[in-house]
Amino acid sequence: MEECSFSRPAGWRRSGEPVSMFLNTLTPKFYVALTGTSSLISGLILIFEWWYFRKYGTSFIEQVSVSHLRPLLGGVDNSSPTNSNSSNGDADSNRQSVSECKVWRNPLNLFRGAEYNRYTWVTGREPLTYYDMNLSAQDHQTFFTCDSDHLRPADAIMQKAWRERNPQARISAAHESLELEDCATASILLAEEEATTIVEAEKLFKQALKAGEGCYRRSQQLQHHGAQYEAQHRRDTNVLVYIKRRLAMCSRKLGRTREAVKMLRDLMKEFPLLSMFNIHENLLESLLELQNYADVQAVLAKYDDISLPKSATICYTAALLKARAVSDKFSPEAASRRGLSTAEMNAVEAIHRAVEFNPHVPKYLLEMKSLILPPEHILKRGDSEAIAYAFFHLQHWKRVEGALNLLHCTWEGTFRMIPYPLEKGHLFYPYPICTETADRELLPMFHEVSVYPKKELPFFILFTAGLCSFTAMLALLTHQFPELMGVFAKAFLSTLFAPLNFIMEKVESILPSSLWHQLTRI
């Protein structure tokens, strides 16, 4: 045993002593402080990571790693020919995704004064976000103004009024415009924002209709006299269509549904090219209220076309009609025994199609999630569209016996047919990834936005959660059992350094002692 010590230099013989002396001088308080500090730091990282994930949908550490560290470590060059070819190959799907993330005007949007403001008075909450109202202001400037407005004092005032952010300033400007002449857009603004009941709004819209029809007839005669007159006629057309549509919605809200259906049909016949207003969705809702399912099917046959953009109203109304044929006799137990009939299979496939288009709707129809007032703008396939659809159509599903039961039994089966990750859709294009961000801008803060597909927790959140829990447990055990945990800590560190000591001993036995002596002196 002693002959081993003859080959070791004195400096190397004492090299392991500082480590053992350091471990022997550590007190239990040091271990408590160490584990407690580690637990605190990892806990703060966990809280920040969780907040960042909830707000932006991604891990902060992961994002920094991908964005900044990956290029430094030799990440993939985005300008390489291979990547450019693959990006060109994905151009069609990306273009479709961008188009599906376009924000649309809600065809059934409520009245600000008579409905949205009433909600604010009762609850003290603002149902509309600033982003949503700003989009509405842009729509009003696009549809209700033109370059020739400065030629007429009343229209010039309204051109400024639509840009005002303060509601009272807009209302005052509308009254000022009406003092000069009978201005259609001024009456529209008052009907939308000042009227506190639907009856008052309808009265103001009828007043706007008289002025709007006069302006429309005059501009129609002059529309071919130049670009200025053509722009003015386009503006007057938009104003007239808006007024007639809102009058039909007033009739629908006041219980005169047949009158509303007639007005909407006449409007679609008079202006067949203005499909961007989605007037057919107002007509579908009114026909469902009348339970006129044959006419609903006729409207769907025209607008549920492969070349036309889809909506939740189109897809779920088609599913409701298919479900209506079988839902009153549908039983999950009987279907599992005998299998689905052809009609039941068609209904289930229609429900799967609707759920794939917008997977957020079923939870609102089945009342698994609470409804709020729909926003003035919606994102197709997003939570905002689901709220807008369910707000107006839930009653129609309840009216069809067994329809909600059939939906409850079959809607979740949709997700077994959709590939995951959603690199391609089943019946539609891949579900766009931008819906969550846009919906958070459109929907109020007090509403919990529905997210699809559910994002898995990033690795770093799970890692920091485990690290925080482990270090907190160590800190607690060290505080409660300091002597025992000190023994465990020293044994752990000794075990940790044992391979290093073993390697050094092997190296020492191979190399000459004179070389080790020179190295230790260095």
168 and 251 inside one domain: yes
Same domain, 164 and 218: yes
- Is 104 in a helix, a strand, or coil? strand
Q: Does 73 fall in a domain?
A: no
Confidence category of residue 304, pLDDT binned at 50, 70, 90 = confident
- On whether both 198 and 260 belong to a single domain, the answer is yes
Domain boundary among 297, 323, 353: 297
The pLDDT confidence band at residue 110, using thresholds 50, 70 and 90, is very high
Residue keyed to tokens 């051109």: 159
Task: Yes or no: say if 518 and 13 are a contact pair by the CB < 8 Å rule.
Answer: no
Helix axis angle for 383-399 and 435-442, nearest 10°, is: 80
Q: What is the mean pLDDT of residues 65-76?
A: 56
97, amino acid identity: S
Using the predicted structure, report yes or no on whether residue 387 has a pLDDT greater than 50: yes
pTM here is: 0.70
Residues 316 and 442 in one domain: yes
522 pLDDT band, cuts 50/70/90, is low
Same domain, yes or no, for 310 and 260? no
Alpha helix (H) residue ranges in 103-183? 117-123, 130-144, 153-161, 167-180
Give the pLDDT band of residue 86 (cuts 50, 70, 90): very low
Q: Express each pLDDT in 310-336 by its tens digit.
A: 889 999 999 999 999 888 887 777 777
262: exposed, middle or buried (Cβ count in 10 Å: 0-12, 13-18, 19+): middle
Q: Where a domain ends, among 243, 275, 297?
A: 297
Both tokens of 208, joined, read: 């706007």
The average confidence (pLDDT) of the chain is: 79
The answer on 311 and 280 residing in a single domain is no
Q: To which residue do tokens 């939906």 refer? A: 407
With tokens 């007032």, the residue in question is: 373
Answer yes or no: do 273 and 313 share one domain.
Answer: no
- The answer to whether residue 36 sits within a structural domain is no
Q: How many CA atoms lie within 13 A of 403 on its CB side?
A: 23
Residue 104 has pLDDT above 60, yes or no: yes
Q: Which residues pair with 105 in a beta bridge?
A: 377
- Is 455 found in the same domain as 326? yes
Same structural domain, 309 and 435? yes
75: left (phi over 0), alpha (psi -120 to 50) or beta: beta
User: How many domains are contained in the chain?
Assistant: 2
Identify whether residues 265 and 378 lie together within a single domain. no
Beta carbons of 319 and 289 less than 8 angstroms apart: no
Share of the chain above pLDDT 90, in %: 37
Q: Answer yes or no: is 103 within a domain.
A: no
Residues 189/185/207/210 CA torsion (nearest 10 deg):
-160
User: Residue 276 belongs to what domain range?
Assistant: 145-297
Residue 510 burial (10 A CB sphere; 0-12, 13-18, 19+): exposed
